[in-house]
Amino acid sequence: MQTTDTVLMIEPIAFGYNAETAENNYFQVEQTGADIQEKALREFNAFVDQLRSKGIDVIIIKDTLDPHTPDSIFPNNWVSFHQDGNVVLYPMFASNRRVERREDIIDTISEKGFVVKDIDDWSFSETQGKFLEGTGSMIFDHDCRLAYGSVSLRLDEQVFREFCSKYNYTPIVFHSYQTVGDERLPIYHTNVMMCVADRFVVICLDCIDKELERSKVIETIKNSGKEIIEITEEQMQQFAGNMLQVQNTEGTPYLVMSQSAYQSLNQEQIANIEKYNEIIYADLSTIETNGGGSARCMLAEIFLPKK
């Protein structure tokens, strides 16, 4: 099953620019002003309302003031919830993101009627300086048992391959880059440059500089039977790769993205996407600018079986 009708979202309480993650997240820009949290909360609530209005089940859990976790609005990096009842905890690059892993969140999901059979904790890799930041760093094609991973400080190739081996995914390893000033630097998370849906893949192929790797990714997607909808690097900078396909409780699919991502797309790309599903988009500009993440990062999919 590629899509779920239930997502976890963390309501921000002290959202802001995280200098620790900005080391290698080149999408982040620090804004000044005392109302960043207020604006982020407004964007968050409007986004939730849009999802719920389409019949998508959103479980909201509030962040805590202590410990201070400025990036907690992006839960998909530290946890994933699987169809077999497994909950996976991931090793995080930034030390102030490691405290986002909260057992009470998993308890709440269980109390909402989901089966949690086992918690598989990979955070021990942090002690070795090796990281794998969940569905930020890995893009799953659940139906074809493929996992796409762009190597960066937040995706260690060895840990990625070990994860894929354990969970029966074929790893598709490549390197992707973005232009920062006059340099080509690694993209921090795979999910800002590609999105895998049930019948199509949105991807910035221009980011994969090595021709051999790019050809392998194209071939893999084509062999999976999915249409490639290509975006430019400029569109990727507007978070056009940071999308997630979800469905409502009746099984109707939607592609979720931010307003800036939607507005960067041309009419042909929009028409291509709308062949397969309706688009939901929301203004997330404060969250994107300060946090360096967008709509997909805010959604942790829940595939757990129901009690």
pLDDT at 165 over 80: yes
pLDDT at 86 over 90: yes
Note the pLDDT of residue 17.
56
Note the pLDDT of residue 70.
84
Query: What's the CATH number where 119 sits?
Result: 3.75.10.10
Q: How far is Cα 148 from Cα 135, in angstroms, rounded to an integer?
A: 10
Across the range 288-295, mean pLDDT stands at 91
Asked whether residue 307 is domain-assigned, the answer is no
Asked whether residue 215 is domain-assigned, the answer is yes
pLDDT at 232 over 80: yes
Q: Which domain holds residue 275?
A: 6-301
Asked whether residue 273 is domain-assigned, the answer is yes
Asked whether residue 87 is domain-assigned, the answer is yes
Is there a contact between 294 and 51 (Cβ–Cβ < 8 Å)?
Answer: no
Task: State the residue for tokens 């201070």.
Answer: 68
What pLDDT digit, counting tens, does each position of 176-185 carry?
999 999 999 9
Domain tally, the chain: 1
Across the range 146-168, mean pLDDT stands at 98
Prediction pTM value: 0.95
What pLDDT digit, counting tens, does each position of 105-127 carry?
999 999 999 999 999 999 999 99
Asked whether residue 54 is domain-assigned, the answer is yes
Asked whether residue 134 is domain-assigned, the answer is yes
Across the range 184-193, mean pLDDT stands at 96
Across the range 130-157, mean pLDDT stands at 98
| Closest alpha carbon to 118 in 142, 165, 82 | 82
Asked whether residue 43 is domain-assigned, the answer is yes
Mean pLDDT of the chain: 94
Q: How far is Cα 146 from Cα 140, in angstroms, rounded to an integer?
A: 6
Q: How confident is the model at residue 18 (pLDDT cuts 50, 70, 90)?
A: low
Asked whether residue 1 is domain-assigned, the answer is no
